[in-house]
């Protein structure tokens, strides 16, 4: 017979073992929840990846194999097949293509093509890149394969050739279709392939503006003019996908490719892409401008709120510079001080890059007589030296109007108050 003391010892050991298991489980759960909370604070998109364009080395990734809808990133493959046809001599840039009834009735965004209209392939390519035109996508699909369905089958076959095992295409535009899926990893490989296989045609992705039939279309990739080294590739959005972006940038002869999918807004998507790419470059030397402004129809559009949205996230320029207090403005009026506002168009790691950005922005402004570009030396509070490009000599209303004009052209800027200008000049 087993003694009671022996039974008591066994029971105590069992209780201790159960307690230990419970404690370990609780600790693991707490760690998992803490990691999840930490990641949720860092990532604002569903999935992302950054890789070296030459070697394919993955520099960072988050849910890169999660399947999602490509939206207009679909047009990257549409253009890959168009570029391939150009290189093989099947079509020419000046070749006229006829618009079908089906193409003309595609949902926006579009060029507004009409049934029976004839359009040059060159214009269709530029419309795909700058306007993300769905009607243009169907025109080229039908011209190259006879029908959009046949073209989509070619797209999927090419995806397999490129190693995009998780991608299936159902149309040439990226308009909603439950069977049209991809991953961030696959899209990054496609972006690499576009640059590798068509280095000449890849330059189209750097097109800033395109004028067709009296209308001017501006590239939807806002980071093209606000991230140093950015030269493509494509944005995309449908409600089911969220805000997507494939981007490529080169610094010091090194090219990186990044993809983010499922952003909550164009603003957060752009900010995350800029952060990921800058980290991939090592986060040194050439800091991003990263203003990634929302469009004028999003949210409160007062000067203070718009300026707060457009201030560079990685720049030490603060909200106080963009939205001065009422007390400051009242004091200026009492003293009769002339308002000398400015607009900031970027913060760069190199002085020449800042000067170039300032001149480019000034050239886009009407009524620029008397305005001047100033590049401010790095501030002592900078974690990394940043040269700020500003355009000087505005009244408050002029500065606000100038920033609105630049935003419409997807040139990013922030309104800077007189006190900030005077303090910077005194440093």
The set of catalytic residues is 72, 75, 132
Q: Do 242 and 262 meet the contact criterion of CB atoms below 8 Å apart?
A: yes
Q: Do 254 and 52 meet the contact criterion of CB atoms below 8 Å apart?
A: yes
What are the beta bridge partners of residue 9?
none
What string of DSSP letters covers 317-386?
--HHHHS--HHHHHHHHHHTPPP-EEEEEEEESSHHHHHHHHHHHHHT-SS-TT-EEEEEPPPTT-SS--
What are the beta bridge partners of residue 350?
none
Q: Do 281 and 273 meet the contact criterion of CB atoms below 8 Å apart?
A: no
Q: Do 280 and 50 meet the contact criterion of CB atoms below 8 Å apart?
A: yes
> Would you put residue 266 in left (φ > 0), alpha (ψ -120 to 50) or beta?
alpha
Q: Do 77 and 158 meet the contact criterion of CB atoms below 8 Å apart?
A: yes
Which candidate, 238, 283, 275, 242, places its Cα nearest to that of 258? 275
Q: Each residue of 331-363: b (16+ CB within 10 Å) or e?
A: ebeeeeeebbbbbbbbbbbeeebbbbbbebbbe
Q: What is the C-alpha to C-alpha distance for residues 12 and 3, in angstroms, rounded to an integer?
A: 15
Terminus-to-terminus CA distance in the chain, angstroms? 91
Q: What is the dihedral of CA 160, 163, 164, 168, to 10 degrees?
A: 10
Q: What is the C-alpha to C-alpha distance for residues 323 and 229, in angstroms, rounded to an integer?
A: 30
**Cβ atoms < 10 Å from Cβ of 382:** 15
Length of the chain: 427
Strands 118-120 and 96-98: antiparallel
Positive or negative, the CA dihedral 31, 36, 40, 45 is: positive
Mention every residue, 6+ apart, whose C-beta is less than 8 A from residue 90: 144
Which candidate, 82, 363, 318, 293, places its Cα nearest to that of 204? 82
CA 305, distance to chain mean position in Å, is 21
């Amino acid at each position: 017979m087993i003694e009671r003391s022996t039974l008591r010892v066994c029971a105590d050991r069992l209780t201790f073992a159960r307690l230990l298991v419970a404690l370990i489980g609780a600790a693991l759960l707490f760690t998992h929840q803490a990691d999840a909370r930490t990641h949720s604070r860092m990532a604002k998109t569903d999935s992302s990846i950054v890789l070296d364009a030459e070697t394919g080395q993955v520099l960072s990734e988050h849910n890169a194999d999660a399947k999602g809808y490509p939206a207009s990133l679909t047009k990257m493959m549409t253009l890959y097949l168009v570029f391939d046809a150009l290189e093989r001599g099947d079509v020419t840039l000046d070749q006229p293509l006829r618009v079908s009834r089906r193409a003309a009735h595609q949902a926006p965004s579009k060029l507004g093509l009409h049934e029976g209209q004839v359009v040059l392939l060159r214009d269709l390519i530029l419309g795909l890149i700058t306007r993300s035109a769905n009607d243009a996508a169907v025109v080229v699909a039908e011209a190259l394969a006879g029908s959009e369905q046949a073209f989509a089958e070619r797209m999927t076959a090419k995806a397999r050739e490129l190693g995009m095992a998780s991608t299936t295409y159902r149309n040439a535009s990226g308009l909603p279709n439950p069977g049209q899926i991809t991953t961030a990893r696959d899209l990054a490989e496609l972006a690499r392939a576009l640059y590798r296989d068509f280095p000449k045609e890849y330059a189209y992705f750097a097109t800033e503006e395109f004028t067709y039939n009296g209308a001017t279309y501006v590239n939807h990739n806002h980071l093209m003019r606000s991230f140093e080294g950015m030269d493509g590739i494509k944005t995309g959005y449908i409600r089911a996908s969220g805000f997507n972006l494939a981007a490529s940038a080169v610094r010091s002869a090194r090219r990186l490719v990044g993809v983010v999918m499922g952003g909550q807004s164009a603003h957060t998507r752009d900010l995350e892409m800029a952060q990921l790419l800058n980290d991939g470059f090592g986060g040194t030397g050439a800091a991003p401008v990263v203003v990634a402004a929302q469009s004028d129809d999003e949210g409160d559009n007062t000067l203070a709120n718009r300026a707060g949205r457009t201030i560079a996230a990685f720049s030490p320029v603060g909200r106080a510079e963009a939205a001065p207090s009422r007390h400051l403005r009242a004091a200026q009026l009492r003293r009769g001080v002339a308002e000398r506002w400015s607009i900031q168009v970027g913060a760069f790691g190199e002085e020449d890059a800042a000067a170039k950005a300032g001149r480019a922005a000034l050239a886009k402004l009407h009524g620029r007589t008397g305005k001047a570009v100033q590049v401010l030396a790095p501030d002592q509070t900078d974690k990394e030296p940043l040269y700020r490009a500003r355009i000087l000599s505005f009244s408050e209303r002029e500065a606000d109007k100038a920033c609105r004009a630049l935003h419409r052209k997807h040139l990013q800027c922030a309104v800077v108050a007189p006190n900030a200008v005077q303090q910077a000049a005194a440093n």
